[in-house]
Chains A and B, each alone.
Chain A
Amino acid sequence: MPTTNQDFDAEALYRTLLEQVRAGLASVPDAAIVGIHSGGAWLAERLASDLDLKGRLGFIDVSFYRDDYARKGLHPDVKPTHIGFNVDGATIVLVDDVLYTGRTTRAAINVLFDYGRPACIKLAALADRGGRELPVAPDYVGVTTTLAGRQLLSLARDASGQLSLTIEDDNAETVQ
Chain B
Amino acid sequence: MPKLYNNPQLNRNGELQHLLTIEGLPKSIVNHILDTAQSFVGISDREVKKVPLMRGKSVFNLFFENSTRTRTTFEIASKRLSADVINLNIQASSTTKGESLLDTIDNLAAMHADMFVVRHAQSGAPYLIAKHLNDSGRKEIHVVNAGDGRHAHPTQGLLDMYTIRHYKQDFTNLRVAIVGDILHSRVARSDIHALTTLGVPEVRAIGPQTLLPSGLEHMGVRVFNNMDEGLKDVDVIIMLRLQNERMSGALLPSAQEYFKSYGLTPERLALAKPDAIVMHPGPMNRGVEIDSAVADGKQAVILPQVTFGIAVRMAVMSILAGGRA
Tell me the chain A residues, 12-63 only, with Cβ under 8 Å from chain B: 61, 63
Complex: A82 Cα to B52 Cα, angstroms? 18
Q: Mark A66-82, 1 if CB is under 8 A from B, else 0.
A: 00011111101111111
**In the complex, which of the residues A65, A73, A81, A116 contacts B322, with contact meaning CB atoms closer than 8 Å?**
A73
B324 interfacial contact with A, CB 8 Å: yes
Q: When the two chains form their complex, are residues A73 and B324 in contact, meaning their CB atoms are under 8 A apart?
A: yes
Give how many A-B residue pairs fall within 8 Å (CB-CB). 55
A115 interfacial contact with B, CB 8 Å: yes
Q: Mark B295-320, 1 if CB is under 8 A from A, else 0.
A: 00000000000000000000000110
Complex: A61 Cα to B46 Cα, angstroms? 15
Q: When the two chains form their complex, are residues B323 and A65 in contact, meaning their CB atoms are under 8 A apart?
A: no
Q: When the two chains form their complex, are residues A64 and B51 in contact, meaning their CB atoms are under 8 A apart?
A: yes
Of the stretches B34-42, B200-208, B219-227, B259-267, the one at the interface is B34-42
Q: When the two chains form their complex, are residues A72 and B47 in contact, meaning their CB atoms are under 8 A apart?
A: no
**In the complex, which of the residues B42, B322, B323 contacts A80, with contact meaning CB atoms closer than 8 Å?**
B42
Chain B residues lying within 8 Å of A133, measured Cβ to Cβ, are none
Q: When the two chains form their complex, are residues A74 and B323 in contact, meaning their CB atoms are under 8 A apart?
A: yes
Tell me the chain B residues, 33-70 only, with Cβ under 8 Å from chain A: 35-36, 38-40, 42-43, 46-48, 50-53
Complex: A115 Cα to B38 Cα, angstroms? 18
Complex: A77 Cα to B322 Cα, angstroms? 14
Q: Mark A109-147, 1 if CB is under 8 A from B, else 0.
A: 010011110000000000000000000000000000000
Of all chain A residues, which has the CB nearest B48? A114
Q: When the two chains form their complex, are residues A70 and B52 in contact, meaning their CB atoms are under 8 A apart?
A: no
Chain A residues lying within 8 Å of B39, measured Cβ to Cβ, are 61, 63-64, 78-81
Known: A63-B39, A64-B318. 5 other contacts (CB 8 A): A64-B43, A72-B323, A72-B324, A77-B35, A114-B51
